[in-house]
């Protein structure tokens, strides 16, 4: 019985002793265990640091750290923090407390020792996992190129080859590709990307594609690049931190970065992209809709994606219609060709309309589609998507003035070349440009045109002085003007529509701008109510001969009225109701008298009466009341009542014009020498003359064209016709008054008694703005060598000068070696010069030359062209026999076969 009681007690005592001994061991071995813990945690830190270095290397290779590794490092960091708390305790102080039998201190040492032992065990576990079980990074190195889906490169092959060429040039690191929306920029960029799928030996480590888009921010671009590189994305990181991480990876790679749809300049370095240079041999290629962005991005080259040619357009359209049997029908093929022309080589329009027509089988359906395209193209399936794309460019214009100026261009017919100066005058009349600062107003207008061209919403016209609007852009502009198709009555545009009468004046009440130019309208008999109308264009209605007196009765807001080149013989007195009129063009009309009521238009700033060949009477009241008038043009008009002054006549005179203090531009026709001399006495007028036509002035023996301060500085065009007594054209300093210093256009017609042109050196500033020379019937003229000193000359016309032997004489060739004699010369046309042997004795650099015409000049055996001129030369006109007998340089580059366009006359 006793043993039964004692045995459990002894066993319990032993267990208690073991328990006490174990715990006493914890207390006594604290120092050793803390040292072991310190050693273990240091070894763990070494393993962690080694892993982190491996992670850094992996990320530089484009790999991604696994979540397992991230959690392991987090556990190590947390454990290290705990150990640091233990090692900070004063162990010696704890031991002293123990020998003093402080129960609290003993318990604290016990807990600390036990925790240290447990942490050593945890560290050993982490050590094993870090060495044996953890995968450092997952994934594989990103593919050098990722294929992009794309349509065929129809019409883009030459652009693609240009880009390939730039890739081979070390100096070209950043390439900007620009063009209007839908022209194929993205397609081109995708093919640049896919090019490297087939090039097994290309030099780039990685090709990165990023869609930027209009609302993109730097973070989104960073994220797209990071995904391509396989970098982790941490939302808590700043832009600068992510840029640093991106930069570390990209600086070790030779990359090609393709940025699609860039809307504003990007700071590549801020994003983390190393700038391409000769050393790293990287490239950045981007697409944009504005050439300005190319400049903002410091592009080393800028490539414009042009519209497709007709055969290329047909190929795309046919592919999208997909019904070759339908397009083989002669009638439908004709409609298809009309549609293709309306698309103007814009791929997006061709694709969209081609798809819309793919299920149209009858001739009537195709005909109706053309009617819709003419009247309301947005109603054709898919076209609103095209317009929406263009609207991004429209909305991205800098200001409302640019947007208004663009919409104004839609008033002209399809594919119509608009004279820049005429367009600017309209804009001034509309108030888009403030004409109070007359010195800069023209430059401001040209700047607006330039901005619209840079945005690829306007193009250069048939001539450099013109612009035009792409047909699809014009349709888009009319869509915008109609509030995206919701109100088609604000812009009424039926230019070149074959009209014979005015359409629907009952619908003009909401009209803001109306364009009926270039039609067959004969009469304006209605009295329309147009409270909002600001522009009315009726020019080139050649048969228009009558306007009812009430026609202008209810147009109180009209600012621009163009009646030029109509057959009008009188203007109704109701013209005085146009109290807001700024711009009135009556040029080319058959008016014989101006109405006195014209003088009531106190806000009129521009009155054009040039080429009014029937004009005889201009009442003083019609002009003297126009206090705000800035432009008044009688150039090539038959009005000749200038010489009678004061109250000797009821007609307007020079003294009346002198009183118009705001006048800056005037055109004058002079038919008497006395009138010409009288003009010298009006200093204000002389400073305003831009156009001067001298005709049949008997007794005019010489005319001096030399530089002088003051008088004549604004002269732009001078025409001389049938002045039979004129013998000398004085170019340098000579006798008489210097009054024609800034000549821009000089025409000499029918001067049979002109025996010579003085070859005095052209004075500095004299004729430096001369753009065009036209000389007719100067039979005694031997040469015009002085033109070699005209730096801005653009056109030369020499007709019927039977004694001319050379254009520029050998002894008069003063152009220095290496300089360009005529950097802007575009057109040279000579006709019926039977003795002409030479244009110039030496070949000239003519970088802008586009057209040469030589007719009835049998002794001219050589053209003064260099091989460098040929690539820009468009057309050569001439007799076939003359062409076949020309002498050519031995250099094969100057053989006649190199000229692509010779047209026999």
Is the pLDDT at 578 greater than 60? The verdict is yes
Is the pLDDT at 424 greater than 90? The verdict is yes
> What is the rounded CA–CA span in Å between residue 31 and residue 614?
121
C-alpha torsion sign, points 742, 744, 745, 748: positive
Contact at 8 Å (CB) between 546 and 571? no
pLDDT of residue 526: 92
Contact at 8 Å (CB) between 142 and 206? yes
pLDDT in tens, 404-420: 999 999 999 998 999 99
Contacts of 849 (CB under 8 A, 6+ apart): 825, 826, 827, 828, 865, 869, 872, 873
Residues 133 and 68 in one domain: yes
Q: And the tokens for 781?
A: 């003229």
Smallest CA-to-CA distance from 857 within 799, 816, 903 is with 799
Calculated CA dihedral for residues 832, 838, 843, 848, nearest 10 degrees: -20
Residues 368 and 456 in one domain: no
Say which residue, 68 or 253, is predicted with more confidence: 253
> What is the rounded CA–CA span in Å between residue 309 and residue 100?
103
> What is the rounded CA–CA span in Å between residue 41 and residue 76?
9
DSSP conformational letter for 130? I
> What is the rounded CA–CA span in Å between residue 586 and residue 317?
45
Name the phi and psi angles at 226, rounded to 5. -60, -40
pLDDT in tens, 776-815: 877 777 787 877 877 778 888 888 888 888 888 766 555 5
Burial state string for 803-828 with b = 16 or more CB within 10 A and e = fewer than 16 = ebebbbbeebeebeeeeebbebbbbb
697: exposed, middle or buried (Cβ count in 10 Å: 0-12, 13-18, 19+): buried
Residues 163 and 294 in one domain: yes
pLDDT in tens, 468-478: 999 999 999 99
Of the listed ranges 599-608, 753-762, 826-835, the least confidently predicted one is 753-762
Say which residue, 697 or 479, is predicted with more confidence: 479
In a domain, 457, yes or no: yes
Residues 84 and 175 in one domain: no
pLDDT of residue 741: 46
Domain stop point among 304, 329, 346: 304
Domain stop point among 375, 393, 427: 375
pLDDT of residue 186: 93
In this prediction, residue 30 has a pLDDT band, given cuts at 50, 70 and 90, of: low
For 176, the enclosing helix (H) or strand (E) is strand 174-178
In this prediction, residue 105 has a pLDDT band, given cuts at 50, 70 and 90, of: low
Residues 168 and 101 in one domain: no
In this prediction, residue 103 has a pLDDT band, given cuts at 50, 70 and 90, of: low
Quote the mean pLDDT of the chain. Answer: 82
In a domain, 108, yes or no: yes
In a domain, 887, yes or no: no
In this prediction, residue 660 has a pLDDT band, given cuts at 50, 70 and 90, of: very high
In a domain, 681, yes or no: no
Strand ranges in 291-404 using DSSP code E only, listed in sequence order: 301-304
Concatenating the DSSP letter of every residue in 709-725 gives SSTTTT--EEEEE--TT
In a domain, 289, yes or no: yes
Say which residue, 500 or 883, is predicted with more confidence: 500
Name the phi and psi angles at 871, rounded to 5. -60, -30
In a domain, 866, yes or no: no
Q: And the tokens for 783?
A: 């040469």
- The total number of structural domains in the chain stands at 4
> What is the rounded CA–CA span in Å between residue 742 and residue 768?
7
Residues 287 and 191 in one domain: yes
pLDDT of residue 56: 65
Calculated CA dihedral for residues 579, 584, 590, 595, nearest 10 degrees: 30
Residues 358 and 403 in one domain: no
In this prediction, residue 152 has a pLDDT band, given cuts at 50, 70 and 90, of: confident
Burial state string for 385-412 with b = 16 or more CB within 10 A and e = fewer than 16 = ebbebbbebbeebeeebbbbbbbbbbbb
Question: Domain range for residue 235?
Answer: 157-304
Name the phi and psi angles at 63, rounded to 5. -90, 165
**To the nearest whole percent, how much of the chain has pLDDT over 90?**
40
Is the pLDDT at 448 greater than 80? The verdict is yes
Q: And the tokens for 171?
A: 């100096």
Domain stop point among 434, 452, 478: 478
Neighbours of 99 (CB within 10 A): 9
Concatenating the DSSP letter of every residue in 451-488 gives HHHHTTSSEE-SSTTEEE--HHHHHHHHHHHTTTTT-T
- How large is the average pLDDT for residues 508-515? 96
pLDDT of residue 725: 73
Residues 368 and 390 in one domain: no
**To the nearest whole percent, how much of the chain has pLDDT over 70?**
79
pLDDT of residue 121: 75
Say which residue, 503 or 700, is predicted with more confidence: 503
Contact at 8 Å (CB) between 582 and 429? yes
Q: What is the CA radius of gyration of the chain?
A: 42
Contacts of 46 (CB under 8 A, 6+ apart): none
Contacts of 194 (CB under 8 A, 6+ apart): 145, 147, 148, 150
Contact at 8 Å (CB) between 255 and 246? no
Residues 213 and 246 in one domain: yes
CA angle 640, 642, 646 (to 5 degrees): 140
For 829, the enclosing helix (H) or strand (E) is strand 827-831
pLDDT of residue 612: 96
Is the pLDDT at 520 greater than 80? The verdict is yes
Say which residue, 437 or 859, is predicted with more confidence: 859
pLDDT in tens, 279-296: 889 999 999 999 999 999
Name the phi and psi angles at 259, rounded to 5. -110, 115
Concatenating the DSSP letter of every residue in 379-398 gives GSTTHHHHHHHHHHHHHTSS
Smallest CA-to-CA distance from 350 within 384, 394, 313, 295 is with 313
**SS3 of 423, please?**
helix
CA angle 173, 174, 179 (to 5 degrees): 150
Q: And the tokens for 860?
A: 């001219």
> What is the rounded CA–CA span in Å between residue 642 and residue 656?
10
Residues 220 and 359 in one domain: no
> What is the rounded CA–CA span in Å between residue 337 and residue 813?
52
pLDDT of residue 709: 35
pLDDT in tens, 301-334: 999 999 999 999 999 999 999 877 788 888 888 9
Q: And the tokens for 269?
A: 């370095």
The structure tokens 């359409």 sit at: 503
Is the pLDDT at 173 greater than 70? The verdict is yes
The structure tokens 């036509």 sit at: 693
pLDDT of residue 137: 52
Smallest CA-to-CA distance from 306 within 343, 346, 340, 337 is with 346
> What is the rounded CA–CA span in Å between residue 533 and residue 549?
18
Smallest CA-to-CA distance from 538 within 565, 572, 500 is with 565
pLDDT of residue 885: 84
Is the pLDDT at 565 greater than 70? The verdict is yes
Contact at 8 Å (CB) between 705 and 735? no
32: exposed, middle or buried (Cβ count in 10 Å: 0-12, 13-18, 19+): exposed
Concatenating the DSSP letter of every residue in 110-158 gives HHHHHHHHHHHHHHHHHHHIIIII---EES-PPPS---------TTTHH
Say which residue, 878 or 559, is predicted with more confidence: 559
pLDDT of residue 734: 44
For 138, the enclosing helix (H) or strand (E) is strand 137-138
In a domain, 275, yes or no: yes
In this prediction, residue 737 has a pLDDT band, given cuts at 50, 70 and 90, of: very low
Residues 27 and 127 in one domain: yes
Residues 52 and 133 in one domain: yes
C-alpha torsion sign, points 70, 71, 75, 81: positive
Smallest CA-to-CA distance from 486 within 478, 496, 475 is with 478
In a domain, 199, yes or no: yes
pLDDT of residue 132: 41
């Amino acid at each position: 019985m006793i043993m039964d009681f004692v045995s459990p007690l002894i066993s319990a005592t032993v267990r208690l002793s073991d328990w006490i001994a174990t715990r006493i061991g914890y207390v006594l071995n604290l120092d050793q265990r803390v040292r072991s813990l310190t050693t273990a945690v240091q070894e763990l830190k070494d393993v962690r640091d080694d892993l982190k270095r491996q992670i850094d290397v992996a990320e530089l290779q484009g790999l991604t750290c696994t979540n397992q590794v991230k959690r392991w490092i987090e556990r190590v960091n947390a454990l290290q923090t705990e150990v640091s708390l233990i090692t900070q305790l004063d162990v010696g102080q704890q031991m002293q407390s123990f020998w003093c039998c402080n129960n609290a201190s003993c318990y604290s040492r016990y807990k600390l020792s036990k925790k240290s032992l447990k942490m050593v065990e945890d560290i050993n576990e982490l050590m094993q996992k870090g060495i044996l079980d953890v995968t450092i990074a997952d994934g594989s190195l990103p593919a050098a190129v990722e294929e992009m889906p794309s349509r065929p490169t129809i019409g883009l092959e030459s652009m693609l080859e240009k880009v390939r060429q730039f890739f081979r040039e070390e100096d070209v690191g950043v390439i900007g590709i620009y063009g209007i929306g839908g022209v194929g920029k993205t397609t081109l960029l995708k093919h640049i990307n896919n090019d490297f799928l087939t090039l097994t030996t290309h030099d780039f480590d990685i090709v990165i594609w990023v869609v930027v888009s209009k609302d993109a921010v730097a973070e989104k671009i960073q994220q797209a690049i990071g995904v391509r590189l396989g970098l982790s994305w941490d939302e808590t990181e700043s832009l600068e931190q992510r840029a640093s991480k991106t930069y570390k990876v990209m600086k070790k790679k030779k990359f090609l970065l393709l940025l699609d749809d860039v809307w504003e300049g990007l700071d590549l370095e801020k994003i983390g992209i190393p700038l391409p240079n000769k050393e790293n041999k990287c490239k950045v290629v981007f697409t944009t809709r504005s050439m300005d962005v190319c400049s903002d991005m410091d592009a080393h080259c800028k490539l414009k994606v042009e519209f497709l040619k007709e055969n290329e357009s047909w190929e795309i359209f046919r592919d999208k219609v997909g019904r070759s049997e339908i397009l083989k029908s002669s009638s439908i093929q004709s409609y298809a060709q009309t549609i293709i022309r309306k698309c103007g080589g814009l791929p997006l329009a061709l694709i969209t309309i081609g798809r819309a027509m793919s299920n149209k089988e009858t001739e009537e359906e195709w005909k109706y589609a053309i009617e819709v395209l003419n009247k309301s193209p947005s109603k054709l399936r898919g076209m609103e998507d095209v317009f929406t794309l263009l609207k991004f460019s429209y909305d991205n214009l800098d200001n409302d003035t640019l947007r208004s100026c663009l919409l104004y261009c839609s008033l002209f017919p399809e594919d119509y070349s608009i004279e820049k100066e005429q367009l600017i005058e309209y804009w001034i009349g509309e108030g888009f440009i403030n004409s109070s600062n007359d010195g800069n107003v023209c430059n401001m207008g040209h700047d607006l045109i330039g901005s619209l061209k840079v945005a690829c919403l306007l193009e250069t016209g048939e001539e450099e002085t013109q612009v035009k609007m792409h047909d699809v852009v014009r349709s888009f502009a009319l869509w915008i003007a109609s509030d995206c198709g919701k109100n088609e009555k604000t812009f009424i545009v039926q230019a070149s529509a074959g009209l014979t009468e005015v359409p629907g004046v009952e619908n003009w009440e909401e009209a803001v701008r109306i364009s009926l130019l270039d039609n067959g309208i004969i009469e304006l008999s209605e009295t329309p109510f147009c409270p909002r109308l600001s522009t009315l264009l009726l020019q080139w209605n050649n048969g228009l001969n009558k306007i009812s007196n009430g026609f202008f009765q209810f147009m109180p807001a009209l600012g621009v009225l163009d009646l030029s080149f109509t057959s009008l013989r009188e203007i109704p007195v109701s013209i005085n109701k146009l109290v807001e009129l700024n711009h009135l063009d009556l040029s080319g009309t058959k008016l014989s008298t101006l109405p006195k009521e014209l003088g009531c238009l106190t806000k009129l700033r521009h009155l054009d009466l040039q080429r009014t060949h029937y004009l005889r009477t201009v009442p003083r009241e019609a002009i003297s009341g126009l206090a705000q008038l800035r432009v008044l043009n009688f150039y090539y008009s038959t009005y000749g009542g200038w010489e009678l002054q004061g109250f000797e006549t009821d007609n307007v005179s020079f003294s009346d014009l002198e009183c118009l203090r705001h006048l800056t531009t005037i055109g004058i026709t002079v038919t008497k020498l006395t009138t010409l001399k009288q003009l010298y006495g009006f200093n204000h007028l002389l400073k305003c003359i831009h156009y001067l036509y001298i005709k049949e002035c008997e007794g005019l023996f010489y005319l001096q064209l030399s530089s002088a301060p003051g008088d004549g500085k604004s002269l732009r065009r001078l025409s001389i016709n049938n002045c039979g007594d004129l013998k000398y054209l004085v170019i340098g300093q000579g006798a008489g008054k210097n009054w024609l210093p800034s000549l821009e256009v000089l025409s000499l017609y029918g001067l049979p008694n002109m025996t010579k042109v003085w070859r005095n050196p052209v004075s500095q500033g004299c004729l430096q703005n001369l753009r065009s020379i036209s000389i007719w019937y100067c039979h005694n003229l031997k040469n015009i060598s002085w033109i070699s000193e005209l730096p801005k000359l653009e056109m030369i016309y020499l007709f019927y000068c039977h004694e001319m032997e050379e254009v520029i004489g050998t002894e008069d060739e003063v152009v220095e070696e290496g300089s360009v004699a005529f950097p802007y010369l575009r057109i040279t046309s000579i006709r019926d010069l039977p003795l002409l042997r030479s244009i110039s004795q030496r070949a000239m650099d003519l970088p802008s030359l586009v057209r040469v015409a030589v007719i009835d000049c049998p002794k001219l055996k050589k053209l003064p062209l260099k091989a460098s001129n040929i690539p820009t030369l468009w057309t050569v006109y001439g007799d076939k026999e003359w062409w076949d007998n020309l002498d050519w340089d031995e250099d094969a580059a100057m053989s006649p076969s190199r000229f692509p366009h010779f047209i026999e006359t």
